[in-house]
Amino acid sequence: MSATQSPRKLDDLIDSRLMARLDAIDVVSRKIFSGKLQGERRSKRRGQSIEFADFRPYVHGDDLRFVDWNIFGRLDRLFLKMFLEEEDLSLILAVDTSASMRTGSPDTFDYARRVAMALAYVGLVNQHRVSLVGFSADGIERASNLRGRRKAADVASWLLKREPRGASGFEPAMRLVGTTRIGRGVMVVLSDFLFSEGFEKGLNMVAGRGYDVYALQLLAPQVVDPTREGAVTGDLLLVDSETGAETEVTVTPELLRVYRERLDRLCGGLRAFCTRRDIVHMVVETSTPVETLMLEYLRRRGLLR
């Protein structure tokens, strides 16, 4: 579908070709969790070993990848290697639904929904607990503890019902997530992070609380560079999408220089803050194909494997 056309159904958020490619990857947590012994489950996608624990006799249906063939060579009997395994991973996707997200081409909010759908799909097919949080000043909307491929339609339905409105409700949303978390896992915030109240208090609510936090700062190409699609000059009336406040400006090369400096300062400040709080920060232009983001960029940053 066109990059400028808003998604209306599951296939608009994620197509079958991308689904097939995402079937082969998983979400990764940088933290080591205590959990069950590998071999007690039969799932081919779970149980990446982190610490050897014990052996047990092989039983029909066990994964042959974990058979100790050295023991078989000596004793002519099959034994399964047991490893300490991560507990069930929780994947939380926090989607900014404030009015500033309805910006640019490709539209920032529609891009956020496509990325959220792709990430949720990876979590679902790997049997992780997937939860979604939408936040704006108008309220916090949630869909919690979804698991399994069949829940992809529920995720899509939830995302398609969201519509950006109002100002940011980032801090209250992060407070809610930080105080009601169950277990540990990965949290991905999808936002432009253009909050009038700042991002520090909100991120502090979830940093260091058992999550691997990823801050994906989604910016439309026109936000990154207002002149990318041609010269921007003359007198303009700017309207704040969240407050409705109006400002008259005269666009000059000097004004554009100051704008770029302030945007760089904002992104740099967010990056520095995230580094101090052990949060992974990425600036992602909405012109980046979702497939490229998922299969290349997020793999290099350690979120997916």
- CATH number, residue 296: 3.40.50.410
pLDDT of residue 83: 59
Higher-confidence position of 182 and 267: 267
Residues 199 and 161 in one domain: yes
CB atoms within 10 A of CB 229: 10
Residues 104 and 204 in one domain: yes
| Of the candidate ranges 39-48, 65-74, 207-216, 249-258, the one whose mean pLDDT is the lowest | 39-48
Report the percent of the chain where pLDDT is more than 70.
Answer: 87
Residues 21 and 39 in one domain: no
Residue 109: CB partners within 8 Å, gap ≥ 6? 96, 97, 101, 102, 103, 164
Residues 71 and 203 in one domain: no
Tens of pLDDT, residue by residue over 115-160, are 999 999 999 999 999 999 999 988 899 999 999 999 999 999 999 9
Residues 62 and 138 in one domain: no
Confidence of residue 53 (pLDDT cuts 50, 70, 90): low
pLDDT of residue 182: 59
**In the structure encoding, which two tokens stand for residue 104, read together?**
């640019």
Question: Is 235 part of any domain?
Answer: no
Question: Is 140 part of any domain?
Answer: yes
**In the structure encoding, which two tokens stand for residue 265, read together?**
């300062």
Residue 202: CB partners within 8 Å, gap ≥ 6? 170, 171, 173, 174, 175, 195
Report the percent of the chain where pLDDT is more than 90.
Answer: 60
Higher-confidence position of 133 and 71: 133
Question: Is 230 part of any domain?
Answer: no
Distance between CA 140 and CA 251 in Å, rounded? 37
| Of the candidate ranges 67-76, 114-123, 215-224, the one whose mean pLDDT is the lowest | 67-76
Question: Is 242 part of any domain?
Answer: no
Question: Is 157 part of any domain?
Answer: yes
Best mean pLDDT range from 39-48, 74-83, 142-151, 173-182: 142-151
Q: Are 69 and 77 in contact (CB under 8 A)?
A: no
Residues 102 and 45 in one domain: no
Last residue of a domain, one of 54, 69, 85: 85
Residues 108 and 208 in one domain: yes
pLDDT of residue 150: 95
Domain of 38?
34-85
Q: Please count the structural domains in the chain.
A: 2
Mean pLDDT for the stretch of residues 89-114: 95
Per-residue pLDDT for 183 more than 70?
no
pLDDT of residue 81: 73
Residues 48 and 189 in one domain: no
Residues 102 and 179 in one domain: yes
Tens of pLDDT, residue by residue over 13-46, are 999 999 999 999 999 887 644 334 343 333 333 3
